[in-house]
Structure 1
Amino acid sequence: MKTVLNTGPSTEDVVRTFVEYYEERGHRRITGSTLLPPPGDPVLFTTSGMHPLIPYLEGRPHPLGTRLVNVQRCLRTTDLDEVGDPTHLTVFEMLGTWSLGDYEGPQSLDWGYGLLTEGFGVDPGLLHATVFGGDERTGPDTASLELWQDRGVPVEPTGEDNWWPSGSAGPCGPDSEIFLWTGDGPPQSTPTRDERWVEVWNHVMMRHRRLDDGSLVPLARRNVDTGLGLERLASLLQGRRSVFECDVFEPWRRLVPGLWPLDEPSLRLVCDHLRSAVVVIGDGVGPAASGRGYVLRRLVRRVLTALWRDDASRTLGDLPEDLVRHTRDRFRQDTDPGAVRRVLTDEERRFRRLLERGRQVLARPRFRGPLGEEDFRYLHDTHGLPRELVVSLRARG
């Protein structure tokens, strides 16, 4: 990512501008939920702004009406291995808008274009859009295509890349994604062919329900669901090279390198995972062997693995409370910073003990050669050693 604007708004200003823009167009702001979905929901964490709104997208009337806007904190475990690149975070905030049977896709895209170009001052020449080009089930999204053509924005039709969600059952439909150019010089190529086009905003026209057998049935009411990552947008508007350089990470980048000298990839991972762990703990989750607690445990262990690579004496007990407070306040939580640090240091002690036990077990003659599936099952079920930990210990010798 490179500079889109030489100077830009703070993240708080981005939120304010976004919400006010849609409130002026009849949207009511709803309160974002925690990371924890409602009881009975099979998903471990809220992954998008639309997740808490599924009952309303399926037809239930919303008490605040048919036009909504909000800011929702989200967690995506699918992005864990991508953290460290310029655009992905584990826990992030998503700006969202919804039309529940009110206006349709072209109106949503027109407002999105107006907010980006007039509200945030993005050069229209740096924009590119993609739309659904049709498949054997449904035809192309010609309405979105024509909207972009009318605005003079280059547009690229694609297949399943512009159908959301791509595979799961539930509300779904064609989408149109808005990209910003982040390369040097004038824009080139298209979003599917050049990664310097960075996706900023997705507008989903929810017209169907996907059944378990993959077939589509029309929704009784057509909706529009949009979402864009706050930190990603803010970093672009602030002219930063990555999400880790936008203003919400400023305290982390200022304090962590003096505490634990790290290379850039490790610094990004440590900042992201610790920040995410603080938010997860703040929403009431503790480390565990499965479920949400295991996601937290995995985040902490990945941090410790990075920290101990160069110095095994490093400890999470040194994490400044200022960083915990900053993150807590950013995500509107009221957690005691001392309690958060105690959870982290308790998990650190547990991980140190597990590492020592793992080294002793793997030193046995039985495990000196190649390991099979039966070995991995035994190590996990008998000694509590996850596969990824076993692989890591053996790689270190």
Structure 2
Amino acid sequence: MDTQDVIRTFVDFFTSRRHRRLTGTSLLSPPGDPVLFTTSGMHPLTPFLEGLPHPLGDRLVGVQRCLRTTDLEEVGDPTHLTVFEMLGSWSLRSYDGSQSLRWGFELLCDGFGVDPGLLHVTVFGGDDQVGPDTGSLDTWRSLGVPVEPTRTHNWWSNGPTGPCGPDSEVFVWTGDGPPTGSPTTDDRWLEVWNHVMMRYVRHGDGTLTPLSDSTVDTGMGLERLLMFLQGKRSVFETDLLSPWTGQLPWELPERSRRLVVDHLRSSVVVIGDGVAPSNTGRGYVLRRLLRRTLTTLWRGDWTRTLSDLPEPLLRHTGSHFGLRTDGVREVLEREERRFRSLVSRGRVLVPRHPKPLTEQDLRYLHETHGIPRGLVMLLRQDDGPTP
């Protein structure tokens, strides 16, 4: 299955079960939302998960693009991305968690052809406030899927207060040979889908109040699912990202190459959603992505430039996400010129601080002169010409 096959199979499965497809998948969160970007498939649906009727009804399905910076330091490994897509299904007080799990098992095994023997799940095993999620535990056991109860890994909340509840995470085996261990003991188990049963509201004092009607929110990472279904060793080798890894014009170590691919592709999407680089808010996230990219590129060669980025990569990403990319290259090149100017200033300022640099030195250079830690360290290592 290629990317479009997977998306179509997922959406068709749920629309055939009376789910209405959501449209509109911008990275930008609604006005008044304190979160800068959409971070999950359920994020735009928060008011409806809390009880507001949705205009499309009580069963929904969609594909939502998301951006997270919490895992930024993990980008470069086989599975983490800054911008990614979530395949989601939602029951707004229509059916229960057990039905969601059964449909999930059916879609994975019959729709996507996953061998049931390569599945393992985790469920909430209970804590001091709430007992174990016996409904999910019994459902998975009836389906013959191995289950591992956990105490802290399987509780979902949308913050310190608000809707929350137990979840059930579905893992697939990515190792060679037959599966061994469990998701908490062997990292070759890859999480692909999470089913959240929102049964409570948490209050400011930490107490929980049961909801009269629970909702079910599921989210499946598109790129990770593609990685598994296509038999790849990383999300960067799937048909969705391989054009980037194959056409990137610079020779880089594998982890650095993945970081550059991720950050540039993510930047294209952010710019396409209408964000420009700046020193605050969403623009600062974009600026940070681009400067991390340039710092990585220049570590091996100061002559590398974003103007060498092939145009087909911009069009490929724009086409997939339904975005215009007309002005993207101009934004990238303008931000590079600005950063090169900062490098020139840094070449004067950084040598004034004796080695080794202290945390206070690094903080001063960043907060006073805007020179990030990565660039400081790069300038310390480099004795080459000014870029």
**Structure 2 Cα separation of the partners of residues 166 and 314 of structure 1:** 42
Q: Which secondary structure does the structure 2 equivalent of 1:71 belong to?
A: strand
Instruction: Out of 24-33 and 146-155, give the one that drifted further.
Output: 24-33
Give the Å deviation of 1:219.
2.7
Aligned residue pair count: 383
Equivalent position of 1:284 in the other structure: 274
2: CA distance between counterparts of 1:64 and 1:122? 31
Q: CA deviation at 1:192?
A: 0.2
Q: Which residue, out of 19, 34, 48, partners 2:26?
A: 34
Contact 2:120 2:146 in 1 (8 A): yes
Separation (CA, whole Å) in 2 of partners of 1:142 and 1:342: 55
| Aligned position for 1:91 | 83
Deviations 1:39-91 (A, max 9, x none): 11111110100000000001000011100000000011112111121211110
After the TM superposition, which parts of structure 1 deviate over 4 Å for at least 4 consecutive aligned residues?
Answer: 369-374
Worse-superposed segment, 160-169 or 246-255: 160-169
**Which moved further from structure 2: 208-217 or 83-92?**
208-217
Provide closer, same or farther for how the CA distance between residues 196 and 254 of structure 1 changes in structure 2, counting only shifts above 3 A: same
| 2:258 equivalent to 1:272 | no
How far the C-alpha of 1:270 sits from its partner, in A, is 1.0
Change (3 A) 1:123 1:357: same
User: Mapping of 1:177-326 within 5 angstroms?
Assistant: 177-256=169-248, 259-326=249-316
Aligned partners of 1:52 and 1:19: how far apart in 2?
18
- Which letter does structure 2 place at the counterpart of 1:261? E
1:384 aligns to 2:376 (yes or no): no
Q: CA deviation at 1:160?
A: 1.4
Could you report, residue by residue, the CA deviation over 1:179-219 in whole angstroms, capped at 9, with x for unpaired residues? 00011111101000000000010000011122233322223
What TM-score results when the alignment is normalised by the length of structure 1?
A: 0.93
Q: Which amino acid aligns with 1:12?
A: Q
For residue 104 of structure 2, give the secondary structure of its aligned residue in structure 1.
helix
Indicate how the Cα distance of structure 1 residues 92 and 139 shifts in structure 2: closer, same or farther if over 3 A, else same: same
Query: Deviation at 1:250?
Result: 2.4
Q: Which residue of 2 aligns with 1:361?
A: 349
8 Å contact from structure 1 (residues 131, 162) kept in 2: yes
Identical-pair percentage = 66
Question: Is the 1:32–1:71 Cα contact (8 Å) retained in structure 2?
Answer: no
Match of 2:95 among 103, 111, 132: 103
The 3 A distance-change label for structure 1 pair 311 and 172 is same
Aligned position for 1:47: 39
Provide the residue aligned with 2:111 in structure 1. Answer: 119
Q: How far does residue 359 in structure 1 lie from its aligned partner after superposition?
A: 2.1
Q: CA deviation at 1:374?
A: 4.8
Contact 2:295/2:378 (8 A) holds in 1: no
Query: More relative contact order in 1 or in 2 (CA 8 Å, sep 6+)?
Result: 1
Residue 339 of structure 2 is aligned to residue 351 of structure 1: yes
Any idea what SS the aligned residue of 1:300 has? Answer: helix
TM-score (normalised: structure 2)? 0.95
Query: 1:64: which partner in 2?
Result: 56
RMSD: 1.6
**Superposition deviation, residue 332 in structure 1:** 1.1
The equivalent residue for 1:335 is 325
CA contact (8 A) 2:173 2:188 kept: yes
Return the alpha-carbon distance in structure 1 between the equivalents of residues 374 and 157 of structure 2: 29
Asked if 1:165 corresponds to 2:157, the answer is: yes
Amino acid at match of 1:386: P
3-state DSSP of counterpart to 2:70: helix
Structure 2: segments with no counterpart, 5+ residues: none
Q: Matches of 2:192 and 2:168 in 1, distance apart? A: 11
Aligned-partner Cα distance in 1 for 2:181–2:87: 28
User: Deviations 1:209-254 (Å, cap 9, x if unpaired)?
Assistant: 2223332222343100000111110111111111001001122122
Q: Quick one: distance in 1 between partners of 2:359 and 2:115? A: 54
Superposition deviation, residue 368 in structure 1 = 0.9
Give ranges in structure 1 of 5+ residues lacking alignment: 1-8
Q: Secondary structure at the match of 1:359?
A: helix
How far did 1:267 drift?
1.3
Post-superposition shift, 1:166?
A: 7.8
Q: Which moved more, 1:367-376 or 1:208-217?
A: 367-376
CA 1:171–1:388: 2 relative to 1, 3 Å:
farther
Q: 1 CA distance for matches of 2:212 and 2:324?
A: 40
Q: 1:108 to 1:129 in 2, by over 3 A?
A: same
Q: Secondary structure at the match of 1:54?
A: helix
User: Secondary structure of the residue that 1:192 maps to in structure 2?
Assistant: coil
